[in-house]
């Protein structure tokens, strides 16, 4: 039987563990032992009869690499004209400790995590590490394609925070700059300033020009926000042209 968990129980119920795991994954796990190891923090390591120490460190290492590959593949296809810098920056925002910890807590990893570390002070880090170990377990049990399908379909697309990182928080201005440099084009922002209907606050309008052709217009309370909206519209036009 598997050792005790962070809630102080000396053992866990395998049937209950399988049920909880199936809710997270969306499918029935195969080799349950791999998944059990994914939720054992090194502070709760235990030894098998053959002397092997069991914890989730190796699975965390594997899961980190698999997750990087999945996200690299996904972002590469989602942003067909984006440069390396943008893709790397976006991937890094998703796989940082804080975000992974939030993902792990949202799917209930803290309920099955086994650790002797103070869960209140270290919950997000512990759970984020266990989430990466879980990705490593799925990869070993089901292979890359199933792991990718599970992460994209059940985790990423059902997590508003991740969608926000990829879409709303996207730096479209940087994307357009990278595209312009790559294609040796000329970029120019033009501005004008007006006031809102109450004549109290300034409203900035920005037009993004590429090779003297208007690609996008935007407005906002600051030049930066106006540029971002104009860049978003310009990027949509660029990618629409790329797809056609």
pLDDT in tens, 159-205: 877 777 766 556 788 889 888 988 899 999 999 988 766 666 778 99
222 and 120, same domain (yes or no): no
152 and 231, same domain (yes or no): no
Per-residue pLDDT tens over the stretch 90-106? 888 888 888 888 889 88
Whole-model pTM: value is: 0.67
* 3 part of a folded domain: no
Asked if residue 170 lies in contact with residue 176, where contact means CB atoms within 8 angstroms, the answer is no
Provide the domain count of the chain: 2
Burial class (CB in 10 A: 0-12, 13-18, 19+), 217: middle
* 71 part of a folded domain: yes
59 and 135, same domain (yes or no): yes
The low-confidence residues of the chain, meaning pLDDT below 70, are 1-13, 45-52, 118-123, 166-170, 196-200, 241-244
Structure confidence at residue 48 (pLDDT): 58
Structure confidence at residue 42 (pLDDT): 74
Structural domain boundaries, residue 192:
172-243
Structure confidence at residue 215 (pLDDT): 94
| Single residue among 166, 191, 207 that ends a domain in this structure | 166
| Single residue among 166, 200, 233 that ends a domain in this structure | 166
Give me the active site residues, please: 64, 132
């Amino acid at each position: 039987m598997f050792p005790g968990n962070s809630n102080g129980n000396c053992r866990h119920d395998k049937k209950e563990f399988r049920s909880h795991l199936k809710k997270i994954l969306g499918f029935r796990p195969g080799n349950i032992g791999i998944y059990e190891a994914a939720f054992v923090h090194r502070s709760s390591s235990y030894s098998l009869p053959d002397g092997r120490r069991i914890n989730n460190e190796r699975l965390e290492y594997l899961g980190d690499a698999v997750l990087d590959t999945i996200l690299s593949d996904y972002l590469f296809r989602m942003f067909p004209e984006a440069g390396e810098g943008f893709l790397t920056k976006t991937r890094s925002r998703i796989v940082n400790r804080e975000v992974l910890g939030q993902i792990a807590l949202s799917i209930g990893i803290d309920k099955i995590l086994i650790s002797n570390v103070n869960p209140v002070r270290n919950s997000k880090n512990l759970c984020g590490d266990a989430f990466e170990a879980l990705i490593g377990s799925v990869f070993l049990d089901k292979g890359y394609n199933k792991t990718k399908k599970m992460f994209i379909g059940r985790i990423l697309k059902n997590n508003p925070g991740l969608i926000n990182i990829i879409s709303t928080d996207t730096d479209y201005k940087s994307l357009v700059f990278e595209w312009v440099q790559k294609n040796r084009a000329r970029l120019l922002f033009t501005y004008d300033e007006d006031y809102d209907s109450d004549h109290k606050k300034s409203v900035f309008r920005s037009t993004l020009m590429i090779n003297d052709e208007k690609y996008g217009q935007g407005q906002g309370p600051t030049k930066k926000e106006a540029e971002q909206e104009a860049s978003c519209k310009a990027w949509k036009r660029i990618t629409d042209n790329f797809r056609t």
